[in-house]
Structure formats: structure tokens, C-alpha cells
A and B are shown apart, each in its own frame.
Chain A
Amino acid sequence: DGGITQSPKYLFRKEGQNVTLSCEQNLNHDAMYWYRQDPGQGLRLIYYSQIVNDFQKGDIAEGYSVSREKKESFPLTVTSAQKNPTAFYLCASSISGLGANNEQFFGPGTRLTVL
């Protein structure tokens, strides 16, 4: 089946620890995205990547880092510098470029709780 997988579904970490969230897609999409979702705030863009080995900061990149070494994978690291990391994290992908109608496909999400 084609789609986007995120793991783990639930993640608990102690304050001050870095943690990496996994996102994999087999849709052959060029673009991938990380969003953070908090209650009542909709989705906010953390980072996105339009092509392998390149990525751009979104609206709330501070305290996060990403890599895009492979087309299929776009892991997100939540660092100890992120002041309020407890949230629901969603990964998405899309066909990139003009005329691609930019529909994004979403993974099931990872709920991160920092204790």
C-alpha cells in the first residue's frame, strides 16, 4: 500500500532529552513537511523539504532540526532547546512544483509527551 508512516504513535521523553520522530513515504513525492498541532491552533509548519538534501524553515522552526538524505525519509529531531515540545506532530508529503495542485497527504501522527 502507498502511504506515509510515522513512528512511534506515542512517545514519552524526559525534559532535556533530544528525540527523533520518524516519517517515511512510498508515494514517490518530492516534497515533505512537518507540522505541529496544538489544541485550538490548527497546524503550524515546522520545516519542509522540496527536494533531497535541501530543506527550509517553516513558521516555528526554533528548537527543531531535520534532514533529508533520502527521498523517502524526513526525520524530525526535537531538541532540548524547544521550550514546549509536548504536542501532536504530523508529517505530510506532496508532489512538488508548479501545476502540481499541491495536495498534501498526511501520516497518522506522533503524540510526543515530555515529562
Chain B
Amino acid sequence: AQSVTQLDSHVSVSEGTPVLLRCNYSSSYSPSLFWYVQHPNKGLQLLLKYTSAATLVKGINGFEAEFKKSETSFHLTKPSAHMSDAAEYFCVVSEEGNTDKLIFGTGTRLQVFP
């Protein structure tokens, strides 16, 4: 069965420093992978998605992620954090055999300090 593991429940960075949010997935096939962001008491917004095209995926707000099949990873990065990046981030994988179903990680809360 598919699953995603977000390796850090909390990440803290200073404004202007790089961001790394780690995600490993488990899947017996080549999945679709997503990163979503959620600001407090809001819905989720798609940051980026991987669907078997380029392995380096660029998203909104300067975020990008690299699909590494050998490491079963899909880590999210940004070169320079901004205060507005403080939010919860979810790594998500599609379910094999039912592409309408998504499986969510437990989330990583990103704090950005001035």
C-alpha cells in the first residue's frame, strides 16, 4: 500500500536561509506526488506536483522538489525563506489503482524567524 512519511513534524529557519522539508514515499509503482501548503484555519493550496515528467518540479512562491526514485524521496526546498512561508506543508501521494484518492502525510509545520 502507498504511504508517505514526513520526516520532521516541525522545522524552524531564519528568514533568508534555505528551507528543506523532507518526504519519503512508499509505492510499488511510479506515483503522482504533490506538496500542498496550509495557512492557519485555511484550506490547502497546491504548491507543486510530480506526474512522471521532469524529476525536478518547480512550484509557486519559489518552491521546488526533486523526485528521486532510488531514494523514494520527494523533498521540498526553497533557497531563501520568507516570513509568509510560515505554514503547514503536506506531502501527498496518489493511490495505486484509484488515481482519485490521495494519501496525505502528517504534515510539517514551518516556522520562519526574523
Please, which residue of chain A has its CB at the minimum distance from the CB of B105?
Answer: A42
Which of A41, A48, A98, A101 makes the CB contact (< 8 A) with B101? A48
Chain B residues with CB under 8 A of A45: 101-102
CA separation between A106 and B112, bound complex, in Å? Answer: 25
A43 within 8 A of B: yes
Chain B residue total in the interface (Cβ 8 A):
22
Chain B residues with CB under 8 A of A50: 100
Chain B residues with CB under 8 A of A41: 106
Chain A residues with CB under 8 A of B94: 102
Which of A6, A42, A92, A102 makes the CB contact (< 8 A) with B107? A42
Subset of 14 A-B contacts with CB under 8 Å: A31-B100, A42-B104, A42-B106, A43-B90, A48-B101, A92-B44, A96-B100, A97-B100, A100-B99, A103-B49, A104-B46, A105-B46, A108-B42, A111-B41
Interface residues on A, range: 20 to 34
If A43-B90, A90-B43, A111-B41 touch, does A102 touch B102 (CB 8 Å cutoff)?
A: yes
A94 within 8 A of B: yes
